[in-house]
Amino acid sequence: MGKLLPIILALVGVGAGVGAGVVLKPEPEIVEAAVECMPIDGEMHAEKAEMPPAPEEDVTDDEGLPTHDYVKLNNQFIVPVVADEHVSSLIVMSLSLEVALGRAETVYAIEPKLRNIFLQVMFDHANMGGFDGAFTSSNKMTLLRNALLEAAHKALGSDVNDVLIVDVVRQDV
């Protein structure tokens, strides 16, 4: 009986916790969208909701279809930052490419070459001190992004429109 009591108490505690969670669960909020109606030809018609403002660069054609594909490179890039001949920190980055519509397969086909080229650009950036101090400053990130875009153009030509730095983290060692 002494060994059975802790098990029974645990089951009762779990049951009480689940019961309390069910009873105290808040009711879901019902949010009704307000749609203004305008009379047209004597009938009431719902007004179309306004679309959010378009981005600075038009990424759709006349029919509203996208003109670019976004290709996320599969693995993160890890770049060591060396100071005084010792690794002082590691930079971990994720990149995506904005390419011409239908060219995603081309990117995946040469991804090992792209990774090699991008890593070399990142190593050069690290060796120039680009990842020291406030490494996410606008100037430093623009320099890196432009260098990556230039390298992508060498590998893929004009199919690449932009290099997007999706994630960047520095871990001091």
pLDDT tens-digit readout, 152-173 = 999 988 889 999 999 999 998 8
pTM: 0.62
Q: Tens digits of per-residue pLDDT, 121-135?
A: 999 999 999 999 898
Q: Which of 135, 30, 37, 41 lies closest to 81, judged by CA?
A: 135
The angle formed by the CA atoms of residues 100, 102 and 107, to the nearest 5 degrees, is 75
Q: Which amino acid is at 60?
A: T
